[in-house]
Amino acid sequence: MGRALVSVLVLMAATVTAVRADDITLPPDHPYGMLKPGTGSEVAQRSCVLCHSTDYIVTQPPGDQKQWDGVVTKMIKVYGAQLSEADAKTVAEYLARQYGK
Amino acid sequence: MGDVSRRQALRALGGAAALVGARTPVTWAQARDPIVAGRPLVRYPQKTDLILLTSRPPQLETPMKWFDRAITPNEAFFVRYHVFPIPNAVDLATWRLRVGGHVDRALELSMDDLKTKFPAVSVTAVNQCSGNSRGRFAPRVLGGQWGDGAMGNAEWVGCRLKDVLAAAGVRQGAVEVTFDGLDKPAFPSVPDFVKSLALARVLDDPNVIIAYQMNGAPLPMLNGFPARLVVPGWYATYWVKNLSEITVVDKPFEQFWMKPAYRIPDNACGCVEPGTTPKTTVPIHRMTVRSFLVTPEPGTRVAVGAPVTLKGIAFDGGYGIREVEISDDGGQMWRRATLGRDLGPYSFREWSTTWTPRADRSRVMVRAFNRIGESQGTEPLWNPAGYLRNVIESVEYQVS
């Protein structure tokens, strides 16, 4: 490893140490969790990201309409997501289409 | 630093950033693991490269290479939040831990109070997410699709919860204690993350502490600065981070994160027939026995007849590890490994052994026993929430 790189790493380590335990800035949502395009993706995006990044969706096991209906219902009934009935249907159908078995 | 050297440093920093961006994103082991393959390595504040599960609320998984030692460094410790926003700044000048509810004297404790009014105690303990390894459940289950890295082991220093409760004076009729942190949902409809423990559980156990120090340093913000609850032997769901409020209650606390969330089938194995629903459930509690072979990492080339040192860790729910064994013939013959230093019954226990590869034996299994004889099964247990995984794990090497 060259001396320049070593000094850079030391400098970076110093920068990390300087970050105070009580003051951090979180990065934005990572693009790896981006929703697949398709009918309903905008409604899904708009409804879901109010509470969580979409990697919560794309990492789930693929499932049929019943699974995704259940997920959307849980989000509304248990986690208090504010979706109209029409939007809920759009989102559940989008999820089953794009993240189905 | 002069202007020229500063410019050089900045240029070099830019170069380093490019280097960081260009580095191999994942290890061979991660790339071959179907659960964590495809997940980016990310570097969050006060953290080293961790495997991203979710951005918001953040969930970051520790790469397996960090479990080649008993103590998990703070920067490599996994992160799991339930609601968002989470605190990104805590001013110790104004932060107070409120202790109230069914007590004689409500308290508002500063960090200075915690450090000076109560004796400091230390415990080395494993913090493992209830859903660690959920991604490996078959049939698969919904929820955070963790690999095996939602765990870590640290030396925690803080004051005893029982001492703090004694100072507040628990009143007759109290049954549970609830714990709340500074992470608060953005909408009132979203259930706040609050957990409870039976009073009998915490008053009998001098190792349940309010920790303000982790491996000799303040807790990283994402691991609960300035203080978190430490419940040795029990799953991390009870280890409430960024702790702000302790409330003694006189009836069982059954809000969302205690019921219906974080529950296991009410039977000895905490399991049901795969794909079925348990009739009754109880809150998840003590951790099951687990062991991992960490180095050499999966897929490493090893030569027939050339001895290799295998190393890893084992842990359980607080009885301590008595024995670790390996097998390279599919579990017919087991051979005892050497245990490392005993850091207490709640800690990771290092183990190591020498293994001589044979051409027809490329898979090494590892299992542990704790001091009350509990061990790991050859078939995975299943429950709908994806908790308690502790099947015997194995590592495949390339023998040549």
Pick from B117, B87, B348, B201: nearest CA to A25: B87
Minimal CA separation from B184 to chain A, in Å: 11
Side by side, the strands of the sheet bearing B107-109 are: B107-109, B97-101, B243-249, B176-181, B194-198
Name which of B15, B56, B142 is nearest A29 (Cβ-Cβ): B56
Each residue's pLDDT tens digit, B294-307: 999 999 999 999 99
**Which residues of chain A make contact with B145, given a CB cutoff of 8 A?**
59-61
Tell me, what amino acid is at B200? Answer: A
- Does the pLDDT at position B21 exceed 60? no
**What's the pTM value of the predicted model, to 2 decimals?**
0.91
Which amino acid, residue B328?
A: D
| Cα A40 from Cα A30, distance rounded (Å) | 21
Q: Round to whole Å and give the CA distance between B35 and B137.
A: 10
Q: Which two tokens stand for residue B303?
A: 């030569």
> Cβ of A26 and B44 within 8 Å?
yes
Of B90, B92, B186, the CB nearest to A51: B186
Measured in angstroms, the CA of B116 and the nearest CA of chain A are apart by: 21
pLDDT(B199) > 70: yes
Torsion angle defined by CA atoms of residues B328, B334, B336 and B341, in that order, rounded to the nearest 10 degrees = 70
Counts for chain A of helices (H) and strands (E), in that order: 5, 0
B220 prior amide bond cis, ω within 30: no
pLDDT digits (tens, 9 = 90+) for B103-142: 999 999 999 999 999 999 999 999 999 999 999 999 999 9
Contacting residues of B for A56, CB less than 8 Å apart: 54
Residue of A nearest to B48 (CA): A16
Rounded Cα distance, B397 and B400, in Å? 9
- CA pseudo-torsion sign B168, B170, B174, B176: positive
Residue type, A90: T
Distance CA B189, CA B171 (A): 32
> Chain A 64-83, CB below 8 Å of chain B: which residues?
67, 71, 78-82
Q: What is the ipTM of this complex?
A: 0.90
pLDDT above 60: residue B14: no
Segment B380-399, tens digit of pLDDT: 999 999 999 999 999 999 99
Please state, as a whole number, how many other Cβ atoms lie within 10 Å of the Cβ of residue B240.
Answer: 29
What average pLDDT score do residues B159-175 get?
Answer: 98
pLDDT digits (tens, 9 = 90+) for B35-64: 999 999 999 999 999 999 999 999 999 999
Interface of B with A in 142-201 (CB under 8 A): 142, 144-145, 185-191
DSSP A53-93: -THHHHTSPP--HHHHHHHHHHHHHTT-----HHHHHHHHH
Q: Does B303 touch chain A (CB under 8 A)?
A: no
pLDDT at B22: 38
For A72, phi then psi, to 5°, come to -65, -40
pLDDT tens digits for range B319-365: 999 999 999 999 999 999 999 999 999 999 999 999 999 999 999 99
pLDDT at A9 > cutoff 50: no
Chain B interface test: which of A15, A20, A26, A71 (most B C-beta within 10 Å)? A26
Q: Residue window 9-48, chain A: list those with CB within 8 Å of chain B.
A: 9, 11-12, 16, 19, 21-30, 32-33
